[in-house]
Amino acid sequence: MTAAATALALPSIGQAASTTTPLAGPKDPPLELQGGYDQFTGGIPVPNRWTSVAGTVRLRWNASPQLADGSAMQVRVGEQIVGTISLRPGAGSATLPVPRQALRGDNRVVPIAIQARIRLKNDVCPATDDPAAWLQFSRSSALTVDGQAAVAAPQLKDLPRALLTGVGRKRSRLLVRFESAPTAASVRAAALAAGEIDALAGDQGLQIRVGLPGSPTRRADGEAAIVVRGGSGPATIRTTLLGGTPAIELSGSDEQLLRAAGALRPSVARRLTGVIARGAQLPAVKATRSSFPRRVRLPTGSTSGVGEGQISLDFRVPEYLEALRGSRLRLAGTYDAPAGGRAVIGINGRDIDSQTLQAKGQSRFFVEEELAPRGPSLYRADLRAGRNTVTVSTRLTRPRDLRCQPSDSGGGVEVSEFGSVTLLTRPRPLQATISAFPFPLSRKVGWQGSTVQLPPKPTEAELAAVLGTLAEARRVTGELALPQIAFGTGVPRGTALVLARPGQVPAELVRDVPGPKDAGVLSASKDGSAVRILAIGPKALRPLANGYFIGKVQGRTVESLNADRAAIRVGDKELVTGIQRGPVPWRWPLLVIGLAILAFAVVALRRTLVRLRRRTASAPTMPTEKADEQGGDGERRDS
């Protein structure tokens, strides 16, 4: 092990640090159970290297004041029941130890289930919609886990999943350590390796840090590592343990270094054995792209039990294509609704159909719906660039004889493999956009012809921002990101992503951008057949490098400065805002149209006022109340 790698191995080998995961996410409503019988099921993802897990369940709750004796809840973690608790009206709490238990499988998750049996003073078996039958948990309710991992270095065949370190909702963390000054080849290899890890990291993505030679940066506890070396030898990849956490070492010269990083591709890693591979064992890295089919088949899915459920079916539309009119959704499935129910079908958050589920045993349903034919290019025909989701939200009425039985004791909905989306697409026109990133850099397979440029002698923060952006692009597109890497302060040829320092920004890349050209500006400009995306400072890349999804930067957050330029400003906390008020495309035609509408409104108002005055002038004078009184008095005086 080299001196640089030894410096990373500060944390001692042993039990992983405890991690606490709340039962409800930060954007979710508090967990609540209702009716005579209800349950919560969830899971805490843990690293694949964990062989066993123990921990603590901490619960805080408030129960209905109408609760009666006999109400209770049972808590299960993994395969073990960790506690059964009697419930009383009002507030309550419990802390339950979780005995250590073994973990198995590739995608390791610690399941947790809470089942509640609620009795009321006036009803021993209340209905699900009974407002008096409830049990609500506080946001502090959580599961704390600590794991034990294997003490041997991971096998190559276990890559890249063995390098994931995230627990619960916490992102996996990765330190990329360069043993020598970064070169175009070493940065490209590091981006490829990080991207393969990020591809399995889930929606939250990967948190990347960088260490340079001579830097005091050290590996944090629970942080996986990639050590990148230069050299003139053949491509070599080696797995090791640093402080009990898996790490890999990549070495080789130029393209050989890229071959070493390419060993993290699952299609390559599963054919390797042992902890080291080199030379001919590592194939060349080549990006491929299949033609996009007109008919996209949807996955299958199911939900069991009465009550509410949801089936999510994901598919992807490449960001380098845009959907045209003529898209259709087809969906078929079977259901068993003991007391009837309803299913609502939606796509990307918009409900498009509703089906009544009859209480007549095993039955079928079929949906064929034309998707909305209009909309902005990023969201045309209800189809987004990137991931799309078809949802089947079900609500099966609970029969009276199952009111106090587990929800999964009857009923269910299953979507068959018949489901598909038929659509017409065309290549997305080349334009200055940030909304569909990584387009237009990904317009060609493997980002061929695109360049990513960093400042000369990039800092750790600058390298981390670029590596994070490329890794997130690999995750959201499912394709390799292999652009050319350059260092400099000028304007690269062709389509490019340029990271520049404040005060060293090429003037032609910020032309028409109002306000100060300081850190946080992210802009796109089109020049002929090239689009250049400029990021001033690492801060500008935060939206693209942290939990990114296509469309994250879109709509009102993007300021279109003119037909060939768009820009945003990223704040210190990744708050994305419009850059400032600037020129609008087709400003003069819009201004003329607006003035014409205003003039028409003024003329119409004046004509209306003239007509009202004429009617008022021609109308007879009406006597007032005072005149009536005076007239009456006069008549009495005359008499």
How far is 3 from 218, CA to CA, in rounded Å? 13
* Residue-averaged pLDDT of the chain: 85
Answer yes or no: is pLDDT of 556 > 80. no
Answer yes or no: is pLDDT of 633 > 50. no
Cβ 120 vs Cβ 141: under 8 Å: no
Cβ 250 vs Cβ 193: under 8 Å: yes
Q: Which helix (H) or strand (E) holds 625?
A: helix 625-638
pLDDT band of residue 126 (cuts 50, 70, 90) is: confident
Closest CA to 212 of 454, 489, 545, 462: 462
Answer yes or no: is pLDDT of 2 > 90. no
Structure confidence at residue 72 (pLDDT): 95
Where in the sequence of the chain do the CATH 2.60.120.260 domains occur?
31-149, 311-423
How far is 86 from 97, CA to CA, in rounded Å? 17
Structure confidence at residue 627 (pLDDT): 44
Structure confidence at residue 62 (pLDDT): 96
Average pLDDT of 629-636? 44
Omega before 458 within 30 of 0, i.e. cis: no
Task: Scan for tokens 């800092």, then name that residue.
Answer: 459
3-state secondary structure of 18: coil
pLDDT band of residue 561 (cuts 50, 70, 90) is: low
Structure confidence at residue 497 (pLDDT): 97
What percent of the chain shows pLDDT beyond 70? 86
CATH 3.50.50.60 fits 311-423, yes or no: no
Structure confidence at residue 374 (pLDDT): 53
pLDDT band of residue 123 (cuts 50, 70, 90) is: confident
How far is 17 from 528, CA to CA, in rounded Å? 54
Closest CA to 208 of 466, 389, 423, 452: 466
When mean pLDDT is compared across 315-319, 492-496, 511-515, the lowest value belongs to 511-515
Task: Scan for tokens 């973990």, then name that residue.
Answer: 103
Answer yes or no: is pLDDT of 385 > 70. yes
Cβ 51 vs Cβ 103: under 8 Å: yes
pLDDT band of residue 589 (cuts 50, 70, 90) is: low
pLDDT band of residue 600 (cuts 50, 70, 90) is: confident
- The two beta strands, 484-487 and 451-454, are parallel
Omega before 111 within 30 of 0, i.e. cis: no
pLDDT band of residue 580 (cuts 50, 70, 90) is: very low
Structure confidence at residue 179 (pLDDT): 94
Average pLDDT of 495-503? 95
- Cα angle value 566/570/576 (rounded, 5°): 75
How far is 104 from 109, CA to CA, in rounded Å? 9
Structure confidence at residue 172 (pLDDT): 93
CATH 2.60.120.260 fits 31-149, yes or no: yes
Looking at the structure, give the CATH architecture of the domain made up of residues 3-12+154-281. Answer: 2-Layer Sandwich (3.30)
Q: Which residue has the higher pLDDT, 326 or 88?
A: 88
Quote the tokens at residue 176: 């990329």
Average pLDDT of 469-475? 97
Structure confidence at residue 331 (pLDDT): 92
pLDDT in tens, 239-249: 999 887 899 99
Residue 201 exposed, middle or buried by CB count within 10 Å (0-12, 13-18, 19+)? buried
Rounded to whole angstroms, the maximal C-alpha distance in the chain is 131
Length of the chain in terms of residues written: 639
Answer yes or no: is pLDDT of 584 > 60. no
Closest CA to 463 of 473, 472, 452, 454: 454
Residue 313 phi/psi, 5° resolution?
-120, 110
Model pTM score: 0.83
CA atoms within 13 A on the CB side of 596: 6
Terminal Cα distance for the chain, rounded: 128
Quick one: three-class SS letters along 594-617? HHHHHHHHHHHHHHHHHHHHHHHH
Out of 1.20.120, 1.10.357, 3.30.1490, 3.30.379, the CATH code matching 445-578 is: 3.30.379
Q: Which helix (H) or strand (E) holds 545?
A: helix 542-545
pLDDT in tens, 328-378: 899 999 999 888 899 999 998 888 899 999 988 889 999 998 886 555 544
Q: Using alpha carbons, list the distances in angstroms from residue 566 to 364, 524, 557.
A: 49, 5, 10
3-state secondary structure of 68: coil
Q: Which helix (H) or strand (E) holds 362?
A: strand 362-370
Structure confidence at residue 403 (pLDDT): 65
Where in the sequence of the chain do the CATH 3.30.379 domains occur?
3-12+154-281, 445-578
Phi-psi region of 354 (alpha: psi -120 to 50; beta: other; left: phi over 0): beta
Cβ 282 vs Cβ 263: under 8 Å: yes
Average pLDDT of 586-612? 77
pLDDT in tens, 131-188: 999 999 999 999 999 988 888 899 999 999 999 999 998 899 999 999 999 999 999 9
Cβ 237 vs Cβ 248: under 8 Å: yes
Q: Rounded to the nearest 10 degrees, how much is the dihedral formed by the CA atoms of 273, 205, 573, 453?
A: 60
3-state secondary structure of 288: coil
How far is 463 from 472, CA to CA, in rounded Å? 14
Q: Report the 10 Å Cβ neighbour count for 547.
A: 18
Answer yes or no: is pLDDT of 5 > 70. no
How far is 372 from 457, CA to CA, in rounded Å? 50
Cβ 145 vs Cβ 175: under 8 Å: no
Q: Report the 10 Å Cβ neighbour count for 287.
A: 13
Residue 145 exposed, middle or buried by CB count within 10 Å (0-12, 13-18, 19+)? buried
Residue 469 exposed, middle or buried by CB count within 10 Å (0-12, 13-18, 19+)? buried
Quote the tokens at residue 143: 């599961």
Q: Using alpha carbons, list the distances in angstroms from residue 565 to 95, 302, 537, 587.
A: 57, 45, 19, 14
Q: Which residue has the higher pLDDT, 457 or 632?
A: 457
